[in-house]
A and B are shown apart, each in its own frame.
Chain A
Amino acid sequence: DGGITQSPKYLFRKEGQNVTLSCEQNLNHDAMYWYRQDPGQGLRLIYYSQIVNDFQKGDIAEGYSVSREKKESFPLTVTSAQKNPTAFYLCASSSSGNTEAFFGQGTRLTVV
């Protein structure tokens, strides 16, 4: 089955801890994206990558880090520097810069 897999579905983090969200795709897509969604709001871009070993900051990159060592994988680390990390995180991928992006089912992160 082709698609995008995000894990885990739910994640709880203690304040001051770093946590890494996984995103894997088997669609052979070049581009991958990370978004944050807060209740009742749209998607805000955190980081995006058009090619392996290269990525760019989105609109709200502070407190987050990413890597793109493999085409299939684009993990997101939420660091302790992110002041308000509780949110719904969505990963997406697309085959090129102007084709539709497909989304995973999201990871809900809660700081306890």
Chain B
Amino acid sequence: EDQVTQSPEALRLQEGESSSLNCSYTVSGLRGLFWYRQDPGKGPEFLFTLYSAGEEKEKERLKATLTKKESFLHITAPKPEDSATYLCAVQGTTDKLIFGTGTRLQVFP
């Protein structure tokens, strides 16, 4: 069964304090791993797609990496506006898009 586990559940950072969020997964035939950002009361906003181990993607202060068992979302020098819930999802050969429970990030000035 396809499964996604995210850690930590919640993370509090001081502005400028870099850190990483983890997404561990088990999936039959990975077709894609996706990162999203979700603000309260809104739909998730797409950030990155990773397809194969060793792949990396960057966008502003965010960088996503992928291995055969997990993905990391690295946040460099975060700002308060980066506060949100970050969701990881995987898609395998079943075509289901399965999400983890997310990491709730709070960045304080």
Residue positions of A touching B, CB distance < 8 A = 6, 31, 33, 35, 41-45, 48, 50, 56, 58, 88, 90, 92, 94, 97-106, 108
Contacts and interface: CB of A to CB of B under 8 A. Distances in A.
Interface in B38-54: 41-46, 49, 51
Contact of B99 (A43, A99, A100, A106): A43
A58 B60 CA distance: 34
B95 A41 contact: no
B43 A48 contact: no
B100 A97 contact: no
B77 to A, nearest CB: 26
Nearest to A102: B46
A22 B96 CA distance: 21
B interface SS class: strand
Interface of B: 6, 31-32, 34, 36, 41-46, 49, 51, 87, 89, 91, 95-102
A99 B44 contact: no
B95 A50 contact: yes
B101 A97 contact: no
A97 B95 contact: yes
A98 B49 CA distance: 9
Given A48-B97, A101-B34, 8 more contacts: A35-B99, A43-B99, A45-B96, A92-B43, A92-B97, A94-B97, A105-B42, A106-B42
B78 to A, nearest CB: 21
Contacts of A58: 96
Contact of B87 (A42, A97, A98, A100): A42
B92 to A, nearest CB: 9
